[in-house]
Amino acid sequence: MVDSTVIQSILRPELLCAVCSSKGSTHFVKTPVENIDQEIWQQRNPNGTDEEWAEYEAAGLHSCHTNMHPEIGKINWVQCKEEIDDFEQSLQQLLALLQLEKDYVHQHTVLLNQALEWERNQKQTRYLLTGEDRQRAEAWLAVRFGDKQAPVWPTDLHYAFITESIKNATNLMTQVFLAHAEEDDAIAEKVRRSLMRAGITTWSYRADIEYGSDFELAMARGVEQADNVLFLISPAALQSAYCQTELELALTLNKWLILMLAGAVTESEIPVFLRNRQYKVDGGKGDRFLSGEVGVIAQRQP
């Protein structure tokens, strides 16, 4: 996906390339000015010399083609230059683009509206997906486009809505229990969101303990109902009484325990019963860990 920062950094104002964004996907309609000449460049650089213009032109900075980011080059372009391109032909190309993955795009809109309704109503259970609607949403979330550009991308709200619907359908059982210290909330949230984007349900104390609930009882139930326990190891986590309790319960119940280094610790700081276990080195960057471990977790699910 090409975000707005990439577009802004590549397409400078003097290139006058019009950007049309619809439903999360981006297409471009080329305007008549694809290149600028020295006269236009000179207007923007009054003190510029012929040598500087020559260098500017040689570097391809005068053109929106030679200086184009490769990711932007993959985007569907519609040629619509006045007095050069045929308008009717360009219109037909535009109409054809609007038909690409039409069902997928429509489902994106339907699910987004349902998710927004769920959010507006304090995320009450009765607004979650059930039955065939949930199954269709799961199938939609699992669609991958490979090397092709996705017409739209699910939002975090899509992911949350669908995974919460899955969780609700399985009596609040989850695939991953996140055990971590409060000091590691930021990396834990990054991991949770990345797992959610892979369609994996998670339990975390910030997202799953209701106001007024018994914390320790809710935590124990979360471990019991999770297939995997993911422990984020950090100096704070190793000193946390709650993390210690979660680990002990996970081992008592013979849960699949996955360790992730979320902070710098020495071997002597790691409890003896954890030292011989395999773990993923992360160093506070969830993506490196998730690129390998999400697949492992997903493969273990029935």
Give tens-digit pLDDT for 169-208. Answer: 999 999 999 999 999 999 999 999 999 989 999 999 988 8
Q: Are residues 286 and 178 in the same domain?
A: yes
Element (H, E) at 6: helix 4-10
Cβ-contact 223, 255 below 8 angstroms: yes
Q: Are residues 30 and 113 in the same domain?
A: no
Q: Are residues 62 and 120 in the same domain?
A: no
In the chain, the number of structural domains is 3
Q: Are residues 144 and 189 in the same domain?
A: no
Upper half-sphere CA count for residue 207 (Cβ side, 13 Å): 23
Domain boundary among 99, 120, 149: 99
- Residue 121 burial (CB count, 10 A): 10
Q: Which domain holds residue 56?
A: 4-99
Look at 149-153, 155-159, 215-219 and tell me which has the smallest mean pLDDT. 149-153
Strands 174-179 and 226-233: parallel
Q: What is the pLDDT averaged over residues 20-40?
A: 58
More confident residue, 263 or 90: 263
Q: Are residues 35 and 136 in the same domain?
A: no
Q: What is the pLDDT averaged over residues 126-150?
A: 92
Which ranges in 80-184 belong to alpha helices (H)?
87-99, 102-120, 131-141, 156-169
Q: Is 267 helix (H, G, I), strand (E, B) or coil?
A: helix
Q: Are residues 158 and 205 in the same domain?
A: no
Look at 4-18, 29-43, 197-211 and tell me which has the smallest mean pLDDT. 4-18
Q: pTM of the predicted model, to two decimals?
A: 0.67
Domain boundary among 154, 169, 184: 169
Q: Are residues 227 and 133 in the same domain?
A: no
Q: Are residues 222 and 159 in the same domain?
A: no
More confident residue, 226 or 269: 226
Q: Are residues 199 and 285 in the same domain?
A: yes
Q: Are residues 279 and 222 in the same domain?
A: yes
Which amino acid is present at 242? Y
Domain boundary among 119, 148, 169: 169
Q: Are residues 184 and 295 in the same domain?
A: yes
What is the average pLDDT score of the chain?
A: 79
pLDDT digit string (tens) for 226-249?
Answer: 999 999 999 999 999 999 999 999
Element (H, E) at 177: strand 174-179
Which domain CATH number covers 235?
Answer: 3.40.50.10140
Give 259's pLDDT tier (boundaries 50, 70, 90).
confident
CA distances to 80, 111, 137, 145, 171 from 118, rounded to whole Å, are 41, 10, 15, 28, 19
Which amino acid is present at 73? G
Q: Are residues 115 and 226 in the same domain?
A: no
